[in-house]
Amino acid sequence: MQRYLTALARILLAQVFLLQITMLLVGLFSNPDGYQQYQAGLASLGLPGVFAPLIILVQLVGGLALFVGFKTKFFALFMAIYAVIISFLLHLPVLQYLSIAGGLVMLYLNPVTACSLDNLKKSS
């Protein structure tokens, strides 16, 4: 039962990043100047334009990796660090992102979950 609850936790944590990136991409593609506006928004926070594709890539790859359970331990720690850094860089609600990072650290400490690609490799 615990394996299935940790799998649920892994999937729910992944949803934070996947829903965020989905909303961002919908916003970017629904507006002809969406990407330029996104870059300008990041620039107004003092971040260079190169951060725009990096943020998209990290959230998409990290969220998908957590969702399917690929290299769970690595991506849980990586996304925890990312959540803390991005909350400070983008002036997001720090407490919420620290909570997300805390859940990801717990996943890092307990990476064995049901229904993951990591488990498929071990049983082969």
pLDDT per residue as tens digits for the range 23-37? 999 999 998 998 999
Whether 8 is in a domain gets the answer yes
Give the pLDDT score at 60: 96
| Count of structural domains within the chain | 1
Whether 47 is in a domain gets the answer yes
Whether 25 is in a domain gets the answer yes
| pTM of the model as a whole | 0.89
What DSSP string describes the chain?
-HHHHHHHHHHHHHHHHHHHHHHHHHHHHHSTTHHHHHHHHHHHTT--TTHHHHHHHHHHHHHHHHHHTSSHHHHHHHHHHHHHHHHHHTT--HHHHHHHHHHHHHHHHS---SS-HHHHHHH-
Whether 124 is in a domain gets the answer no
Give the pLDDT score at 103: 95
Whether 59 is in a domain gets the answer yes
pLDDT per residue as tens digits for the range 45-88? 889 989 999 999 999 999 999 999 999 999 999 999 999 999 99
The Cα 92–Cα 54 span in angstroms is 17
Whether 44 is in a domain gets the answer yes
Token pair for residue 46? 């003092």
Token pair for residue 112? 């064995």
Whether 85 is in a domain gets the answer yes
Domain of residue 81 covers 2-113
Percent with pLDDT over 90 in the chain: 72
Average pLDDT, the chain: 91
Q: Is 14 exposed, middle or buried (0-12, 13-18, 19+ CB in 10 A)?
A: buried
Whether 118 is in a domain gets the answer no
Check pLDDT > 70 for residue 120. yes
Check pLDDT > 60 for residue 112. yes
